[in-house]
């Protein structure tokens, strides 16, 4: 029996133009949990960073497939983003803020740091020559009913 309530799978070619497609697709899936605007922005940003890493670092100047699996378990969205690219030599070093293997690009080297800070859990698994898998999750508190304020229109 499945231990999750819903699941989606997405595969696409590692083109930069597909990054926004991936981000919006995962956000639409997570929207079932009725997240706040901030929670949804966190998820979108983390997905964007992970997919961008697959495209820029995993496949470099080659095309490959990026795979995303997202699952809903209760109020939690679990996301796995996988590439079959070159892999990461030293994951711990790669997780250091500002570390980058592409200093010539206008990137800050903060991708893993951003993913880790915006999500509740974050793991990186990588094997040289076989690829990298990012696992992350976020528990969504969701929309809180705000007290309705009584606004009376005054006309003169």
Among candidate residues 53, 78, 80, 116, the one labeled active-site is 53
- Mark whether 107 is an active-site residue: yes
pLDDT at 144: 60
Q: What's the Rg (C-alpha) of the chain?
A: 18
- Mark whether 78 is an active-site residue: no
Give the pair of three-digit tokens for residue 9: 């799978």
pLDDT tens per residue across span 15-36: 999 999 999 999 999 999 999 9
pLDDT at 124 over 80: yes
- Mark whether 89 is an active-site residue: no
How many alpha carbons lie under 13 Å from residue 92 in its C-beta half-sphere? 0
Residue 43's nearest CA partner among 60, 71, 24, 15 is 24
Domains of the chain: 6-139 (3.30.565.10)
Give the pair of three-digit tokens for residue 97: 């803020």
Write down the pTM of the prediction: 0.84
Mean pLDDT value across the chain: 87
Among candidate residues 39, 49, 80, 116, the one labeled active-site is 49
């Amino acid at each position: 029996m499945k231990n999750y309530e819903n699941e989606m799978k997405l595969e696409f070619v590692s083109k930069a133009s597909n990054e926004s497609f991936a981000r919006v697709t995962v956000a639409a899936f997570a929207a079932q949990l009725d997240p706040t605007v901030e929670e949804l922005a966190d998820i979108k940003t983390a997905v964007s960073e992970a997919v961008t890493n697959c495209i820029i670092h995993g496949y470099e100047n080659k095309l490959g497939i990026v795979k995303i699996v997202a699952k809903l378990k209760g109020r939690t969205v679990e996301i796995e983003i996988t590439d079959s690219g070159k892999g990461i030599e030293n994951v711990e070093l790669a997780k250091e803020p500002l570390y980058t293997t592409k200093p010539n690009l206008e990137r800050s080297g903060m991708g893993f740091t951003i993913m880790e800070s915006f999500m509740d859990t974050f793991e990186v698994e990588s094997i040289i020559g076989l690829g990298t898998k990012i696992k992350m999750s976020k528990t969504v508190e969701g929309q809180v009913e705000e007290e309705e304020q009584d606004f009376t229109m005054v006309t003169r």
